[in-house]
Structure 1
Amino acid sequence: MGRIVAIDYGLKRTGLAVTDDLQIIASGLTTVATSELMSFLKDYTQKETIELFLVGEPKQMDNSPSESEKHIAPFIKKLEKAFPSIEIKRVDERFTSKMAFQTMIDSGLKKQQRKNKALVDEISATLILQSYLYSK
């Protein structure tokens, strides 16, 4: 059984989260500059066995795709081409950024620490992954 990697894709930064080998626990992995994302994933997949990529699917309240979907679709095509043997699934990511920010508040992070957008992206990816694990 391989790990699951969740991807909270953004124009500047992308948050990543990963499961353990048994796919029980979701943990934040890192946040990388989106321009370096593919090379990071290539390196990571050489070190770890990845069974599934979960890519956040931003939606409007009426369930229609959000504006950022036009940037995510080309990324998914690249991902499919670079990793043809790894399955890709989409997960609704509505409210994950707000939930990530609330998680930071609830965990007692100071106001200055909560301004760390990279941390918000990583927590968002973790929330995407956790929601998928709950739904399994």
Structure 2
Amino acid sequence: MRGKLLFITGGLVGYVLGARAGRKRYDQIAAAANDFWNAKPVQRRVSEVRDFALDAVGDAPVALFNAGKKAVSAMQAKKADAAAPAKKTGSTSPTSSSANGTPASTKPASKPGKPAAASGPADDAK
């Protein structure tokens, strides 16, 4: 719809600028456009669209604020829950834990009698 409107507007501008009739024809077109814009049905629709847009935009900041507030509260509660078990047990274990409160995975120890070595393409060929 926007493309059609721009096309029509461009056509009108081109016609006005290229018209042989000159200023007289331009004044006729400008008067017709002004009459159309100031018509009661058009202004009624303009007011409806403006009111709708203001109502829609007016609710958005409140909704975004509430959603952000809820997300922050949830993260704070999750952080507090993750910190609470560590304080209760008094554990000062050197193991690390991931952000979600579960222990981080560790690399399994090598089997007895075998040195730990990184596997690479040469190991896969055997």
Larger radius of gyration: 2
Which structure features the higher share of helix residues?
2
Q: Normalising to structure 1: TM-score of the pair?
A: 0.19
Q: Normalising to structure 2: TM-score of the pair?
A: 0.21
Which structure features the higher share of strand residues?
1
